Amino acid sequence: MSPSQHPIEPHATAGTMSLTPFVLLAACWGFLAVTWLAWAAGRLAAAFTGAEPGPDWGSGFVTDLLHGQWSLAYPHTNHTVVAVAFTTLLLLAAAPVVSGWILWQRRRTHAGDALPSLARPREVSDLAPAGVTARARQLRPSLAGLPSKRIAPADTGIALGTMRLPGRAGPLLRASWEDGVLAIMGPRAMKTTAIAVPAILDAPGAVLVTSNRADVWATTHTARAGIGRVWVFDPQAITRTGQRWWWNPLTAIRSVEDAARMASHFVQPIRRDKGEDFWLLAAEDLLTSFFLASAAAGLTMTDTQAWLADANDDEPVRLLADHGYPEVSRALRGRQHGAPETRDGIYETARTAAKCLQDPRIMAWVNRPASSAEDQLAPFDADAFPTSRDTLYLLSKDGAGSSGPLVAALTDQVMRYAVGHAEACGGRLDPPMVAMLDEAANVCPLADLPQLYSHYGGRGIVLVTILQTYQQGSGVWGERGIGALWGAATVKLVGAGGDDPRFAADVSALIGEHDAATLSLTRDATGYLSRQVSVRRQRIMGPEDVRAIRRGTAILFASGARPALLELAPWFRQPNAPALTAQTATSIAQISDRAERERLTADLARERVALTTVHAVATVVPPGESDGDAGAVIRPVQLGVPRFRNPGRPRP
């Protein structure tokens, strides 16, 4: 019988009548055992004190013991020594019985307990230490010749959590270097502290991180700086570390396909709100033409933004024709000479999609710096990153005008270069590259992310996507897209904080059912009580149980294995937690100090503006309005403060 059909004995105090014979039998044997221990205590006490032993164990000894005739039961022995010996023997005899009872109660199954019907360690052996180590030696040629004892756990895979078993903790499970991980956890469910941070700290190769907050960077950047260079893409000053490098998105565009991928990253954020329609498709095609023209002519993103601002600018048409793209040139000319209403609608949609290009703070990161700052700002080489041990943090705020499209474009560019390196290395990167897509739906909504999961796993590119809810994913990729993403991810984690009834019901159905015993008691006319047990099928975890998953735990769905329950391992419970805590506190304090300095600087700038505008100027007042003077007078006024005069009211 499989574990999912394991019959569960129900709890019921009314059913104890059937245990009465066993209870009476146990009481008889217990009485005999206690009296024998009392007799053995007398013999031990006599031997210890050198006294003559008392009577043999039998009915006479038991009778004397029950009547309290201690002088007959222990005629030559000190009664205090007997009491101590009896207590010691009783404790020694009771210890294994009590321990066995406690252990049995802890592992006793009942219909409300899901653990006995979930996966056993052998069913997830590929994720256990021995299995994942063996898999790592197959996937990473650099580990093939090393004995298992010399391979560090961090080199074998991404830590997921400790498996929970009835009455005990199981092994620490890890995802292998060919798995794609999808974590769906609500706010405050430890998705960052238990999934993102440990994976970043343990990664043996390059790491790409996306986020909309500074917490991941604050905890990990110091440790990662000791392994390789840390690159922080932060145009919206989330970490307030300043700009230290720049990146040209157009360098990777060498074909119409490359330009179309770039355009899709800009259109995707508004596609999830408006859905697929003519205006979005036409705007994406327009952006494709502009990106291709800029890249072919060696121009910048500023030129692209200028073309978007002027629907009559035919420069991109000429550039496309001059650089070998006549078909794209003709299509763009036809779009520019179409109906004005249609053309203006397409351009306006494209401007909305590329709104981030209007922000000078963002444009400073994607355009070549001025000659005075070129020595201080190094260019980012996306092609060299996948084979390094560097860390790339891509940060963006949510909402319109954010740098999210550029975050998605840089993420996609790095991963495409990683595929090229993997193909050149025999098919896989070694060490693998980890792409930690935290808040992927808000910051990095790659349009083809579901398709990438099925391809990148075999290239040594480990994708870890973290979503707050399943609906968040369906809002970005649609129902079919999030379904494809769920199916392509070989390791899925469902944590606390999910209040979607439909998703909870689906997860409950995936966990499955088991056989549960139901106790029925029937009393006939004579008062005889009969006891019947029937078996019925019920969910191992109902939707209400899925919704009430405790914070710090998660349900694991691994390919080819039954669901398991994990105890997450956040970084603040690790041995190096004190050092990481100090580093995090220092980074957060630096952000706070810089934010305070920025606020003070802004206040000082406003005060300077106010001081320069509050000065005396000459205002000529006509005669008759000078409070009795015949000529004009000079009055001080404050610039910037409007003086409204109501002609219907008398002047003071």
Domain boundary among 352, 367, 382: 367
**Residue 142, pLDDT score:** 92
Residue numbers of the domain that contains 363: 249-367
Q: Is residue 387 part of a domain?
A: no
**Residue 274, pLDDT score:** 65
**Residue 632, pLDDT score:** 43
**Residue 629, pLDDT score:** 45
> 60-74, 142-156, 325-339, 381-395: which range is least confident on average?
60-74
Distances 178 to 127, 132, 336, 528 between C-alpha atoms, Å: 12, 11, 47, 63
**Residue 56 banded pLDDT, cuts 50, 70, 90:** confident
Q: Is residue 18 part of a domain?
A: yes
**Residue 183, pLDDT score:** 96
Q: Is residue 331 part of a domain?
A: yes
Distances 269 to 273, 333, 398 between C-alpha atoms, Å: 7, 27, 10
**Residue 357, pLDDT score:** 94
Strands 491-495 and 181-184: parallel
- In the numeric block, which tokens belong to residue 305? 């933004």
Per-residue three-class SS string for 555-594 = EEEECCCCCEEEECCCHHHCCCHHHHHHHHHHHHHHHHHH
Distance between CA atoms of residues 181 and 432, nearest Å: 14
Phi and psi at 10, nearest 5°, equal -75, 150
Per-residue three-class SS string for 145-213 = CCCHHHCCHHHCCEEEEEEEECCEEEEEEEECCCCCEEEECCCCCCHHHHHHHHHHHHCCCCEEEEECC
Torsion (CA) 117, 122, 127, 128 in degrees, nearest 10 = 110
pLDDT digit string, tens, across residues 192-209: 999 999 999 999 999 999
Count of the separate structural domains present in the chain: 2
**Residue 96, pLDDT score:** 87
pLDDT digit string, tens, across residues 13-43: 444 445 577 778 888 888 888 888 888 888 8
Distance between CA atoms of residues 9 and 568, nearest Å: 30
Strands 564-567 and 553-558: antiparallel
Partner residues linked to 211 by β-bridges = 395
> 76-85, 228-237, 242-251, 527-536: which range is least confident on average?
527-536
> 116-125, 291-300, 631-640: which range is least confident on average?
631-640
**Residue 374, pLDDT score:** 61
Distance between CA atoms of residues 615 and 460, nearest Å: 67
How many CB atoms are closer than 10 A to CB 188? 11
How many CB atoms are closer than 10 A to CB 227? 17
Q: Is residue 468 part of a domain?
A: no
Q: Is residue 20 part of a domain?
A: yes
Residue of 61 and 9 predicted with greater confidence? 61
> 86-90, 145-149, 296-300, 374-378: which range is least confident on average?
374-378
Q: Is residue 65 part of a domain?
A: yes
**Residue 23, pLDDT score:** 79
Q: Is residue 509 part of a domain?
A: no
Domain boundary among 302, 336, 367: 367
pLDDT digit string, tens, across residues 253-272: 999 999 999 999 999 888 76
**Residue 5 banded pLDDT, cuts 50, 70, 90:** very low
pLDDT digit string, tens, across residues 89-144: 888 888 888 887 777 666 555 556 778 889 999 999 999 999 999 999 999 999 98
Q: Is residue 260 part of a domain?
A: yes
Q: Mean pLDDT throughout 402-427?
A: 93
**Residue 650 banded pLDDT, cuts 50, 70, 90:** very low
Distance between CA atoms of residues 199 and 194, nearest Å: 9
For the cut 50, the answer to whether the pLDDT of residue 621 exceeds it is no
**Residue 638, pLDDT score:** 43
pLDDT digit string, tens, across residues 505-517: 999 999 998 887 7
Instruction: For the chain, give the percent of residues with pLDDT over 90.
Output: 56
**192 close to 418: Cβ distance less than 8 angstroms:** no
**Residue 164 banded pLDDT, cuts 50, 70, 90:** very high
**Residue 19, pLDDT score:** 59
Domain boundary among 333, 367, 401: 367
How many CB atoms are closer than 10 A to CB 221? 21
For the cut 80, the answer to whether the pLDDT of residue 64 exceeds it is no
pLDDT digit string, tens, across residues 549-608: 999 999 999 998 999 999 999 999 999 999 999 999 999 999 999 988 888 888 788 878
**Residue 112, pLDDT score:** 61
